[in-house]
Amino acid sequence: MLDIYAGPVAKQKLQEQGFNPELFSTFLGASGGPKWFSLYGLDKYLFGEFFKEKSSSLDLIGSSAGAFRASCLAQDDPVNAITELAYRYAETDFTLDASPQGVTRAAEQLLTQILPHDHMQQVLNNERFKVHFITALCSGAVAQESKLKQGIGLTKSLFNNALGRQRLTQQYQRVVFSTANAPLKYQEASVFSTEYVSLDEQNFHQALLASGAIPMVMLGIQDIPGAPLGMYRDGGIIDYHFDFKVESEGLTLYPHFNSKPKAGWFDKNLKRTANAHNYDSTVMLVPSDEFIHNLPFNKIPDRTDFEKLDTSTRIRYWHKVFEETEKLAESFQEAVDHPTKAVIKDLPF
């Protein structure tokens, strides 16, 4: 049901020490909208059981949906919080007003439901789990709300990225909003300018909303308190599935819905994948092809379901996926309990 992949460094440590939660210092949560529903059961098990008694700190790095997950998993009751996010998201009908203004209002309402003030405080004050929300600070036409201008800017980004990911640095700067006292240390081939901003009560909701502000679909977030002035959009533009190496003595745990991660949003339709060397110390937990084939419609959820399915069919389908993902959690728990029997595969990219 669950495929476990590991880079060479991670694989050796797992073979020597098993799935010890203290081995991990980083947790990744990728963009992808409702695709993350395929990881729901895993999220509940990982933060309800696996990491529950972890004594050392854990950095939760997320863009877009991954940032929303991180904001739930760092709460005092992560299982209840991630359940609230999953079911409230599933039952939100973003098609009632599909304009950027309407989708933004629906996202704001969802955010207030899953992160009331006291829950936000839990994340800000969490000493073990430190969250890092990735956003993209835009310049030029992509910073405009006019769909025409934004479309022109995104077309330029598409061509720039095809010529080389490094060229996207002309239009985007990475801004990371964090509860940690020190910035993350990582290496990447395409060096984006990166700014670190401390999360607080004044910027928390705006930063999280910005991390998921999909271009053309949602409004951007302008001038976030405490951060450089400008227009902020979806962190997945730069870090869709991540293509950097976190500099840490610990391993990275990465539950992901795809075994071949793409670096940025504009790589979705390219053969280009992330650099495998950046995953030397990473363990990926991926739903198997067999698991996906047995889901309704033989696929994991995605944003096109809003357009292709009527509301009641979509909600039933997504709820069924939630139930099925418990099998992934059981599969990982089996690997934790019996590490010598666990099948750990080499990275497939």
92-119 pLDDT tens trace = 999 899 999 999 999 999 999 999 999 9
Alpha helices in the chain (DSSP H): 8-17, 40-45, 65-73, 78-90, 100-114, 117-124, 147-163, 204-211, 289-293, 305-308, 311-324, 326-337
Rg (CA), the chain: 19
The first and second tokens of residue 228, run together, are: 């450089």
Q: 240: part of which helix (H) or strand (E)?
A: none
Q: Give the list of residues 6+ apart from residue 338 with CB closer than 8 angstroms, or none.
A: none
Q: Which of 47-51, 268-272, 327-331 has the lowest mean pLDDT?
A: 268-272
Phi and psi (nearest 5°) for 250? -90, 175
Predicted TM-score of the model (pTM):
0.97
Burial of 137 from C-beta contacts in 10 A (0-12 / 13-18 / 19+): buried
CA distance 148 to 45: 44
pLDDT digits (tens, 9 = 90+) for 252-293: 999 999 999 999 999 999 999 999 999 999 999 999 999 999
Pull the structure tokens for residue 277: 């060397």
Average pLDDT of the chain to the nearest whole number: 97
All structural domains of the chain with their residue ranges: 2-130+200-210+239-346
Closest CA to 233 of 333, 139, 102, 124: 139
CA 335 to chain centre: 24
Judged against a pLDDT cut of 90, whether residue 189 lies above it is answered with no
Beta-bridged to residue 4, according to DSSP, are 285, 344
Residue spans of alpha helices (H) in 242-310: 289-293, 305-308
Residue with tokens 């339709």: 269
Crossing angle of helices 117-124 and 204-211, in 10° steps, is: 80
In angstroms, the Cα distances linking 21 to 72, 184, 316, 348 are 19, 20, 34, 24
Residue 199 contacts residue 131 (beta carbons within 8 Å): yes
Separation of alpha carbons 70 and 64, rounded Å: 10
Mean pLDDT of 301-319: 97
Name the residue with higher pLDDT: 189 or 68: 68
Q: Name the pLDDT band for 191 (thresholds 50, 70, 90).
A: confident
**pLDDT at res. 190:** 83
pLDDT tens-digit map of 238-248: 999 999 999 99
What pLDDT does residue 347 have?
A: 97
Contact 70, 43 (CB under 8 A): no
Spatial neighbors of 125 by CB under 8 A, at least 6 apart, are: none
**How far apart, in whole angstroms, are the C-alpha atoms of residue 250 and residue 31?**
23
| Cβ 239 vs Cβ 137: under 8 Å | no
